[in-house]
Structure 1
Amino acid sequence: MELGERAFCSGSYIGQFETAIRRPQLELSKLLDDVLGSGEHLQRLCRLARKSKVADYFADVAELEQQARTIVEHAPGNVPGLLQTEAYARALIRASRLFDPQQVVDQVVSARMERSQLLNGYNAPVFWAVVHETALRVPVGTHAEMHEQLSYLAEVARARPNVVLQVVPFSAGPHPLLTTSLALMHFSDAPPVVYTECAYNGQLTGEPALVAQYQSAYDMARAAALSPKASLALIDSAAKDYATNEHGN
């Protein structure tokens, strides 16, 4: 309890680290080192424990996803990773890794597909995604692969009660997260965190004021979006467009 107070978090949160349920982020490891006077010992242990199939900057996020009860995500230009088909993921990853060997691309795709299993099962988190219409209109891969991806989006949103999907249409204009990709994760017994990402890096923080600011911005983006029902109709329409134009791709 005392350590939690000195590190500005709850005693139960500290207990999760002690019992290896959760791994402290590097930022918190530094704070605990300062509080305990342990030099950089906990920071070194944190780095050693960060071995992961995903990019180093995403390792903590992938672990926290497993603990989250609710994940809300905003995707300004592409389908969220947890909802991607393999063909779409491969085309997207290849576009950002033009000079990497095929084996590396295959490993990244495999890791993303493994992550997508998070939304299955009895204890799956609630996943609420707000996607800009850009993600529906910019072709990633062939038209057939885009049709498959958008059809899968609609299928998941209809079949899984824990998945809610909304689309911000072009007509909505600007909103606070127009150029920002983010995920907000909420937990049953720990403070929420926010993760923001650009092309080759990302930042994870639990700083309360910043989390609250991003939550407010996300709420504004969600308010600008179509209803879930209208969003599905737009996704269906876009999928049909790709099916119609498939032979021309």
Structure 2
Amino acid sequence: MTGPKDLDPSSRRIMIGEELRHARERAGLTQQALGEPLFVSGSYVGQMEAGTRRILPDMARRLDETLGTGGFFVRHCVKANRSKHPEQFAEAAEAEVLATSIMEYGAMLIPGLLQTPDYARAVFLDYQPTAPDEAIDKLLTARIERARLLDNPTTPLLWVVLDEAALRRPVGGPSVMTANLCHIADLMRRRRAVVQVLPFSTGGHASLHGSLKLMYFDDAPPLTLIEAPATGRLLDDPATVARHQLSYDLLRANALTPKQSLALITSVAEDYDHEDHEPRA
């Protein structure tokens, strides 16, 4: 199967995933049965078929051997795995496009889907202070394209818990923070995102280890993202996903209501705006 030349990687993965499903069914195998010789779970096979997981070169080789597909998956996995995103985050960013709901806890930073370009640029520069402008611009372009996910008025459902630390840390300076918090407030008023703030007064909570992200799909098992500096890993283990969902539910239970959160976000934005317009000594 050869897709159109201008097919983007995510769409190509969906088409290859459909071919994988057809090949598996022709072989008379369930997802679980195919997963056994591949040393992965049946849900992992389901995610490859849905296009939410990449088919990496070694996996492509094993698929061709197991299903007798004559090198089809090896030939097509390279183009399907091309991404504009950093390698450690590419799979997660591409899964976002297919998610029906995304639940995220931002511990120290405003999550990427809620970032303005100026805020994102400041984050990239802080993380890579010696990177050339071309590299920063490439990252920024990919981040802006990710945020276009919210151009759809209803899908995905985005529910974010923001730690108060993310509001108070002046990434990029007062004017950048003012604009980003106003952007979040606008998304909330338009009912495009549900945002709750976890206030400092909460004290300890269920995700003191750091940020948290869960993604849910119509036709594939849910995923949770484990992130660390320069690395990221998607997990589909049901026990791990359930544990992270419980942590997220506890965060929501301890956070301010959306109405209270909107009031706090607006107040902090006004504080930054006032700071930005104070006379300089």
TM-score band, normalised by shorter chain: 0.7 to 0.9
Q: Per the alignment, do residues 29 and 191 of structure 1 end up closer, same or farther by CA in structure 2, a change over 3 Å counting?
A: farther
Point out where structure 2 has 5 or more consecutive residues left out of the alignment.
Answer: 1-24, 36-40
Give TM-score, length-normalised by structure 2: 0.78
How big is the shift at 1:182? 2.2
* Aligned residue in 1 for 2:200: 170
- Of 54-63 and 164-173, more deviation after overlay is shown by 54-63
Which of 72, 75, 84 matches 2:115? 84
Counterparts of 1:1-249 in structure 2, within 5 Å, are 2-6=29-33, 7=35, 8-9=41-42, 13=46, 17=49, 22=51, 24-25=53-54, 30=59, 33=62, 37=66, 46=77, 49-122=80-153, 124-159=155-190, 161-248=191-278
| 2:42 aligned partner, one-letter code | C
- Residue 22 (structure 1) shift: 1.1
1:23-55 per-position Cα deviation (integer Å, ceiling 9, x unaligned): 5345897499389647xx758864653211111
CA offset at residue 79 of structure 1? Answer: 0.7
- Output the aligned Cα RMSD: 2.8
More off after superposition, 44-53 vs 141-150: 44-53
Moved more, 1-10 or 129-138: 1-10
2-11 or 175-184, which deviates more: 2-11
TM-score normalized with structure 1 length: 0.87
8 A contact 1:3–1:11 mirrored in 2: no
**Counterpart residue type for residue 170 of structure 2:** P
Name the SS of the counterpart of 1:98 in structure 2.
coil
Instruction: Give the distance between the partners of 1:32 and 1:217, measured in 2 at CA.
Output: 37
Letter of the 2:82 counterpart: K
Change (3 A) 1:35 1:223: farther
Deviation track 1:166-213 (CA, whole Å, cap 9, x = no partner) reads: 000000011121232221000111100001212321111111111111
Contact 2:102 2:156 in 1 (8 A): yes
Matched residue SS, 1:131: strand
Partners in 2 of 1:220 and 1:27 — Cα distance?
35
Return 5+ residue gaps in structure 1 as ranges. none
The one-letter code of the counterpart of 2:138 is Q
How many residues are matched?
A: 243
* Structure 1 counterpart SS, 2:221: coil
Q: State the 1:247 CA deviation.
A: 3.0
